[in-house]
A and B are shown apart, each in its own frame.
Chain A
């Protein structure tokens, strides 16, 4: 950012987040309940509502982003993906049986294929979201090949594995360069200037701390929060569209609070789940019928449909509550913090951006959903 800039002085503008926390909380709580009563079908509408909330309350130089994706598109994408995945899973199952007959673990290469396919889905899902983002009546676009991305991601993951994580910064930089090179706002070409070396310089000590942190658990949320903040700050500060550049003032400790609050909620939910399970087992044991030899038949009581149903309901409620925690603390709060600390330089270049790219279909998101990939709570 130190290079001399034209005399016409590229002004500094800011991004702002104007969302009300309570509104978002109500949105995700209501969404979780509707997910429960619709057996999960509501997830397409919830994801869309969450994105619309976050996008529309994010102002760049006073003008909000707009998310123009529709839940219906996600549903159709999911159905198409299911139609493709269904026979694929059947073939997978049959090949698995044949392969295991010859040799145990022979179906491992198939898992590798699924992993590659998951990377493809991740790329295509991002493409869907980017091309559904509009600012000042102009769409963001994204091209590039999901297959090309999948290969890159797989090779980089192999490098990360072999280097015990040391190659992670270079992986992030290379993949982000690929993503941003294929992203544009109108005719403003996207780009990414970050390097792996820079990210490594900022994060190597966090990487060294991983082993002691994994052993003692307690500092883990601090470590994850610091790493996430470092990554996000590095990412935002290196993204550009034509001459439009960004800088993030997010501090490394900025996310400690959100991660600790989320952890606290999860611990509480875990305790509640424990109480629920012991309550159900206690009740089942108390109501157990005597077996032929006179002692209470606990096995039958625990396997009673009502007991199983109760356990299932408890588990589902806890999972939905955990999802709510993720969405409030790790999605919304982190989003708000990044947006609030980001400056924009040279936005004048965007004033005359023109051209409108294609909006891509939601099949990628459908695959990501069908493969059970968590795409950042969004």
Chain B
């Protein structure tokens, strides 16, 4: 400011090695020459000169100098303009071109991430799932088991007659549903004394049927359809596949939004939508498994549908079987079609449970009330295909 007045210096030079402010003269020639009291300090090629941030005056730097922090400051507007017009690349690498580049690459990243989430991850999850050892899947199941039990509550119901009836039904379904050579699928069906109207399959083979759903079932066939559906999920390892998909999807979407405030909410929402889409296929496959098993037993596959309609109707779609995918007309039609195809045999097979056994199963938790006394130590039957009683 005041230092510059009264001298004939036309620019200020900071050499980038010390903080000293040097009064210099500049010579505009084939290059920009910076001279201090007759001694040349630097020669800057016009092509290399770039604008540096400054306030109110033209501040310049050069890309080629020995010190990248050297700065030339020109206060006189006329001189500044004369210098500016000689620098062809003064504002290179800043401004609009840069923004357009960021926009373009962001759009490309977005497209590739969306494609990855829609096609890449499901494909990879399908390929990875069979490679995961059963023991790892079982551990994952145990880890989620605690959370599920804590969230949904209830104790394992173990009344002996009920257990026996449940075992009989499950064994029949396993025999009818799983291919004979499959000796890896471990099925472990447990009734929980909770009012929740639902049934779920965990990774590793544990299936929970909640007493709330059991009480809604009017015939053994209805319950058997549900259990067969869950056995289908276990057989296809859908729980594991879902964990792999959901984990990868939220990671990939998280990459996209990074640390933008509120990104977490977007990730959750996008996750929910994507997973709902993924799981629709898995539901259809499990329905088909259920229908096939029931048909083979000579029972109606449509009974499963009857139960679901009753349940969804009564609870307005909340907390019902498979929350994330409301029971649709197309699923009903599919089950009904399976029933029609098997029309001749639909009721030919023997009843899955006798009336006495059915009543025992309904009372496995100790009566119609779900708040009965907690059952003694959980003693579950673990059924493997290889344990099949011969000749059944």
Interface residues of A (CB under 8 A from B): 18, 34-35, 37-43, 45, 52, 55-57, 59, 62-64, 66-68, 78, 82, 86, 89, 93, 97-98, 100-101, 104, 134-139, 185-186, 291-293, 295, 297-300, 303, 305, 308-309, 311-312, 315-316, 318-320, 322-323, 350-354, 356, 369-370, 372
Chain A positions within 8 Å of B326 at CB level: 297, 299-300
Q: Which of A52, A297, A299, A352 contacts B53 (CB 8 A)?
A: A52
Chain B residue nearest to A78 (CB atoms) is B258
In the bound complex, residues from chain A placing their C-beta under 8 Å from that of B52 are 66
Evaluate whether A41 and B258 lie within 8 angstroms (CB atoms) in the complex, with A101-B143, A356-B17 already known.
Answer: yes
Give the chain A neighbours of B54 by CB distance below 8 A: 56, 64, 66
Instruction: Assess the B14–A40 pair: CB atoms within 8 A.
Output: no
Q: Are A67 and B102 in touch, CB under 8 angstroms?
A: no
The total of chain B residues at the interface (CB under 8 A) is 60
Inter-chain contact A308/B259, CB cutoff 8 Å: no
Q: Of B18, B257, B317, which one neighbours A299 at CB under 8 angstroms? A: B317
The answer to whether B53 and A66 have CB atoms under 8 Å apart is yes
Give the residues in chain B near A63, CB-CB below 8 Å.
21
> What 3 pairs between A and B have smallest CB-CB spacing?
A137-B14, A319-B262, A38-B106
Which residues of A sit under 8 angstroms from B146, Cβ to Cβ? 100-101, 104
B152 at the interface (CB under 8 A from A): no
Least CB distance from B174 to A in Å reads 27
| Known contacts A41-B109, A45-B98: A291-B316 contact under CB 8 Å | yes
- Judge whether B18 and A353 touch: CB under 8 Å: yes
Interface stretch (choices B28-36, B161-169, B266-274, B352-360): B266-274
B255 CB within 8 Å of chain A: yes
Is B53 a contact partner of A97 (Cβ separation < 8 A)? no
Residues in B352-392 with C-beta less than 8 Å from chain A: none
A356 to B14 CA separation, bound complex (whole angstroms): 13
Contact indicator B17/A312 (Cβ below 8 Å)? no
Contact B260 A137 (CB under 8 A): no
A291 close to B102 (CB less than 8 A): no
Residue pair A56, B266 in contact (C-beta under 8 Å): no
**Interface membership of B116, Cβ < 8 A:** no
A299 touches B318 (CB 8 A): yes
Contact B317 A39 (CB under 8 A): no
Q: Beyond A45-B98, A297-B316, A319-B262, is A352–B18 a contact (Cβ under 8 Å)?
A: yes
Give me 12 other A-B pairs in contact (C-beta within 8 A), A41-B102, A136-B14 excluded.
A34-B99, A39-B260, A43-B259, A56-B53, A101-B146, A291-B312, A292-B329, A297-B326, A311-B269, A319-B260, A351-B20, A354-B19
Quote the shortest CB–CB distance from A69 to chain B (angstroms): 11
Q: Mark each residue of chain B from 15 to 45: 1 if its CB lies under 8 Å from any CB of chain A, else 0.
A: 1111111000000000000000000000000
Instruction: Provide the residues of chain B in CB contact with A316, threshold 8 Å.
Output: 260, 262-263, 265-266
Do B258 and A40 have beta carbons less than 8 Å apart?
Answer: yes
B176 interface residue (CB < 8 Å to A): no
B110 beta carbon closer than 8 Å to chain A? yes
| B106 lies within 8 A of A37 (CB) | yes
Q: How far is the CA of A352 from the CA of B17 in the complex (A)?
A: 10
Which residues of A sit under 8 angstroms from B257, Cβ to Cβ?
Answer: 39-40
A134 to B80, CA, bound (A): 22
